[in-house]
Amino acid sequence: MADQVKPRPQQPPPPAPDNRNSAKRRRDYRTANPICQGCDFAPSEHVHEITSGVARHYGEPDPDVQLVSCGDCHGWLHDKEIWPIERQIVLKLRVIVRKVNQYRGRSQSAIKMKDLIPVMDVEA
């Protein structure tokens, strides 16, 4: 028994960033994105961090890992069987594609998600 190796204790995460302005940032993000990014038609009510759990505090100040959602979609986003993290990332990518099209003065479907797949460096 003395020869058994004890498991290494898990390292605590680094301290969370200062999120004192959290409510204002979330309000500003919802104001800038008034429509739910899940269903594309309901008013946004929530800011959802794709980086959930312990990592949520690190993603909270970063709009790159956030989605705005209506009440219904927000409930769905928390169901990891229906909306796993990978699917949430694809949803955020869809939002980015639409904004790029908009900012370039093109139709919302000028660049489509399927156009990105051939240029993605992904392993099978």
What count of Cα atoms within 13 Å lies in the side-chain half-sphere of residue 40?
6
- The DSSP bridge partners found for residue 43 are 35
Locate the domains of the chain by residue range. 31-108
- The DSSP bridge partners found for residue 47 are 68
Answer yes or no: pTM beyond 0.85. Answer: no
What gap in Å lies between CA 41 and CA 92, rounded to an integer?
16
Find the mean pLDDT for residues 97-108.
91
pLDDT digits (tens, 9 = 90+) for 18-75: 666 778 888 899 999 999 999 999 999 999 989 877 777 777 788 888 999 999 999 9
